[in-house]
Structure 1
Amino acid sequence: TCPCQHHGMEYPPNHKEIRPGTKALQFCECTNGVWRCSAASAEQIRDYPNQSLDLTTSCSATRHQEYTHCEPPEPITCKNMHDPPAFSPSICRSGCICRRGYVLDSLTKECVKPSQCPCHHGGHSYSDGDKIQEDCNTCTCEGGKWTCTQHSCPGLCSAWGDSHFRTFDDRIFDFQGACDYMLAKGSLSDSDSFNVALEIVSCGTSGVSCPKAVTLSVGSGDKHETITFSTNKPLPVSINLDRITVRQAGLFVFAEVADLGIVLQWDRGTRVILKADPKWKGRLKGLCGNYNGDEKDDFQTPSGGVSEVSAQLFGDSWKLQPYCPQARPVLDTCKLHPNRKSWAVKKCGVLKSSLFRPCHSEVPIEPYLDRCIFDTCGCDQGGDCECLCTALAAYAQECNTRGVH
């Protein structure tokens, strides 16, 4: 019952195959760890394919490829050709590799010279000189590599669906509170200060909560201005506002404070996006984190110091009314509503489809897929599709920011 070895490959007991011999083809069988080979009959040649010969023929027929007994763990591609060489595999597999002097273009699956390598982004190939926009920077394809401008882009913080958050430093967490919370606040001086408060309420019978209203406040004293956006209410009149500019574009409403570099974006539902100019780096507090480039210390409370361990304790520390109840632990909504799980998994599966596939290499899909299923299982308010569409839009927005359209 012992396996056999050949050219570094392991074969199970009783494996049979045809191999090239010195004078003729041989029929080889693995018996108790030993190969027993003899001249192959016409019937054996017909019944047992010559694997290595077939591969050798197919590799030779393909442009700039050759046969190998031992494929590397990862082929040398346009993307990794400048990386250190990979270790040899522990178990060999025969196959085709690019000939010396060529590398694999992983998108076209063709072997090309390194000088012919395209740039890759969002599942597409780009030729030399092509340009793409990624956030606020322009990137140019030069010799198979992207060269990008080095502008400091605004930070992005978002809240969506059944209370999911992504901080300025890209930490994603969930928080099931029901109160008014400080999303972000910062101050350069008394007049150059702002805060964004988020009202979160219970939404549905699953015990989940979601944003209902968002309030932007700027300045202090006589120069204090504030505006609130709330679901199921008409847009507020902004005639008396000097520093806050309100405009609409498509589904979104924007509130901008140009001199502070702050833009609040609301989809009239449960999705809120806050943009902050780079001058606010390290100067912000709240559920959006401190915007210092390190996600590990985003869970700081109003008093500062060591970050909280749990999202629940962190979120509760930023509630604006002390009488509000503590946030509930996050429960599995699909266990609460097992009848909705298959529908939720199917509908959220569109994130894995060809529509979003170009973005998978730029934005990991798992955090958004898990939260989409969570929201869709728990959603019983505003129609079945409201939570689903919000969850899909959250991923699409992140893709758009990374230059995948």
Structure 2
Amino acid sequence: MESLRWTLAACFYLFSEEICPKRKWTFGSGVTVPFEGSPFYVHSSCRFTFLRFTHSRVDCDITVQRGGGGLLTLVEIIINKVKTVLRGGGGGVLVENGRVSLPYDHTYQHIFRFGVYTRLKSSLLPLSVTWYDVPGGIDRLWVELDQELSSDLTGLCGKLDFGLTPLLRKFDTCQTRDPVFVLNPVCRRFFSETLECLTSRTPEFIRLCEQNAYGHEGDAGVPCAFFGEVVLMCGKGSHVWNSWRTLTQCAPPTCPGDLVYVEDGPAFIPSCSNPNPRTSNQDNTSSCVCPAGEVLNDRADGHRCVRTSTCPCVFRDRTYQPGAIRSTKCQTCVCGGGTWQCSENFCPARCLVEGQFVTTYDGKQYAVPGKCAYMASQGLNWTLKIEFSKREPSLKTVTLQVFQVQTIPNDFIIGDDEIIEVHQSDHTLVFWQSSMYVQVRTTFGLKLQVQVFPDLQLYVTPPGHDRDAISGLCGNRNNDTTDDFTTSSGIVENSAKLFALSWSLGSCPENIPSSCVNTGNEIFADGRCSVLNNPDGIFAKCHDYIPTDQHHAACIHRTCNCGDDLLRCLCASLESYAKACGGLGVELAGPLMHQG
């Protein structure tokens, strides 16, 4: 089955709008194929409106301009007031006046490589723009619409009821000349091989070919772009498909490294990071591919192709060769075929409450909205409640209650009352693990570790049984983060705020700022928390195991809103990262209290 791309090209040239999605394009030195009507040629250095429309209250405006060599040197795409500029001839892609690297992901659009081409796909409109950049400019530009639009399409490829003049940008000083018709032997020779697909329309395309080539006889890029588009129209089964480059002396594109050029190949080629990309016939296009049986090693420079079995692995931006072993206290991983083959994680799941930041049993992180009392976690016969200080987003008390019929108390409060040495009942044991931590163990498997200095923080290991009965701020324990935000009424929420408020005990004002409210505190927090990211600092040893981005952001937020004792919250935040590292067996040497 031929690629849908060839079908698209053919159906547009044959104007079968009923079976084709909306598509228009321009190529060579000025050939334009509109959505409706016949192809035409415009030779101009002026800036023209190529396409303009409004759909679902989102405006789209695409402007094009050609240089002296005939190719497009400027394409400006404005969607929802976001401006993207394509500068042909290697000038790159600019979004909002800043040059971007590919792939580029934005809320409103995505820009990525598509075979030998580059494509912009809008998230707001059923629109994609594809182009091919060569030395000297862009030699072809396609615009595709995924659906019929109710609004009128204006521009070079829209309605031309009033000619080209209204489409000119008034502020441009430019030149437009009438098309020149001069016999071109290459055009005549080429179209002698396309009679089977063009039939009666051959004279029309010969005229366009000769108009396109006039004045550009010494530049192969202009006529070759035209020939290439006609070949796509005729399709892979045509006679001209295999002979056109010999007829026209148009060289195929040069591919980097080990890659080889194919006229019809996958737009997204297999690589070490994605050996089996999801593709369809719609994704076939002109492409640079690896030899059969090999994939692109996209984890190294040079565009080299390798066997999948020899692909390296990546962890925390570091590359590992096949057979390399990476171990933590919880599991061991071996690099093989570009992926990490890891043993089962035998470290128990834990819930963390560090300041206003909570990490669920399944690893989802969020912040509570208010300094209130909450149900942190609960099971069939136990509840764990926490209460925040009214002055700052720090824990004030942790209360564990175990339900059973007996005379010995099984309720323990940590925070208000001092625990001296050991406290034991039928089902619980409470003791000082060190000068900083109180440990709580139960006969049914629940374990608590409460850090009491420099700030009260809670670490919960749930029982291994009755997982379905566990709920609260810490979520459930089913290794699925998608349902961690299950409210007290059993509804799965998308909002962390609404989820947390459902587990509040009593009224709960939203009084924890979502950003820093004190400039001086923010400067202090930003400067001191940066120690987490220091590549040569005390925490650097752990960077390969735990990224610092979330811990760094939490450190700034927590320290900034800590009231008068900023250093206490800073030290607690740094200790949280150090504790996470220690949980993986990464021991950090040095006094953390002096790192701020």
Query: Could you say which TM-score interval applies, normalised by the shorter chain?
Result: 0.5 to 0.7
Q: Which residue of 1 aligns with 2:485?
A: 298
| Distance change in 2, residues 1:143/1:290 (3 Å) | closer
- Mind listing any 5+ residue stretches in structure 2 that lack a counterpart? 1-46, 48-63, 76-86, 91-134, 139-174, 177-211, 220-252, 588-596
Aligned AA for 2:440?
Answer: A
Residue 338 of structure 1 and its aligned partner are, at CA, apart by 2.8
Aligned AA for 1:279?
Answer: H
Does structure 2 conserve the Cα–Cα contact (< 8 Å) formed by 1:66 and 1:97? yes
Alignment of 1:145 onto 2:339: yes
Residue 175 of structure 1 and its aligned partner are, at CA, apart by 2.3
Q: Give the TM-score normalised by structure 2.
A: 0.47
Q: Which residue of 2 aligns with 1:236?
A: 420
Residue 201 of structure 1 and its aligned partner are, at CA, apart by 0.7
CA shift digits 1:31-54 (9 cap, x unpaired): 98x8976989xxxxxxxxxxxxxx
Q: Which residue of 2 aligns with 1:326?
A: 508
**Bigger Rg over Cα:** 2
Q: 2 CA distance for matches of 1:201 and 1:122?
A: 37
Aligned AA for 1:338?
Answer: T
Q: Which residue of 2 aligns with 1:168?
A: 361
Alignment of 1:248 onto 2:430: no
Q: Give 1:120's match in structure 2, choosing from 292, 306, 314.
A: 314
Does structure 2 conserve the Cα–Cα contact (< 8 Å) formed by 1:203 and 1:381? no
CA shift digits 1:226-260 (9 cap, x unpaired): 444338x8653215456425353695443333x42
Match of 1:341, SS? Answer: helix
Q: 1 CA distance for matches of 2:311 and 2:364?
A: 34
Alignment of 1:215 onto 2:399: yes
Q: 2 CA distance for matches of 1:344 and 1:91?
A: 51
Q: Give 1:202's match in structure 2, choosing from 390, 404, 422.
A: 390
Match of 1:266, SS? Answer: strand
Q: Which residue of 2 aligns with 1:23?
A: none
Q: 1 CA distance for matches of 2:325 and 2:562?
A: 41
Q: 2 CA distance for matches of 1:329 and 1:28?
A: 58
Q: 1 CA distance for matches of 2:267 and 2:526?
A: 33
Aligned AA for 2:458?
Answer: V
| Distance change in 2, residues 1:89/1:247 (3 Å) | farther
Q: Which residue of 1 aligns with 2:74?
A: 12
Q: 2 CA distance for matches of 1:75 and 1:403?
A: 39
Q: 2 CA distance for matches of 1:319 and 1:273?
A: 19
Match of 2:572, SS? Answer: helix
Q: Give the TM-score normalised by structure 1.
A: 0.64
Q: Give 2:519's match in structure 1, choosing from 318, 338, 343.
A: 338
Q: 2 CA distance for matches of 1:142 and 1:113?
A: 12
Q: Give 2:448's match in structure 1, choosing from 264, 276, 281.
A: 264
Match of 2:407, SS? Answer: helix
Q: 1 CA distance for matches of 2:283 and 2:584?
A: 34
Q: Which residue of 1 aligns with 2:377?
A: 184
CA shift digits 1:289-335 (9 cap, x unpaired): 2334354363422xx44356765565455455x5xx5322443442x
Residue 381 of structure 1 and its aligned partner are, at CA, apart by 3.5
CA shift digits 1:122-176 (9 cap, x unpaired): 3344444444446744433344433334467633211112x12222244433224
Alignment of 1:387 onto 2:569: yes
| Distance change in 2, residues 1:3/1:211 (3 Å) | same
Does structure 1 conserve the Cα–Cα contact (< 8 Å) formed by 2:360 and 2:475? yes
Match of 1:202, SS? Answer: coil
Q: 2 CA distance for matches of 1:331 and 1:222?
A: 44
Q: 1 CA distance for matches of 2:282 and 2:569?
A: 47
- Mind listing any 5+ residue stretches in structure 1 that lack a counterpart? 18-26, 41-54, 188-192
| Distance change in 2, residues 1:151/1:383 (3 Å) | closer
Q: 2 CA distance for matches of 1:255 and 1:184?
A: 15
Match of 1:181, SS? Answer: strand
CA shift digits 1:167-216 (9 cap, x unpaired): 224443322444443211212xxxxx333222211234xxxx22123233
Match of 2:350, SS? Answer: strand
CA shift digits 1:36-94 (9 cap, x unpaired): 76989xxxxxxxxxxxxxx979x56xxx567999xx987753221233359999999x9
**Number of aligned residues:** 352
| Distance change in 2, residues 1:66/1:212 (3 Å) | farther
Which stretch shows the higher mean deviation, 151-160 or 394-403?
Answer: 394-403
Match of 1:285, SS? Answer: coil
Q: 1 CA distance for matches of 2:319 and 2:423?
A: 48
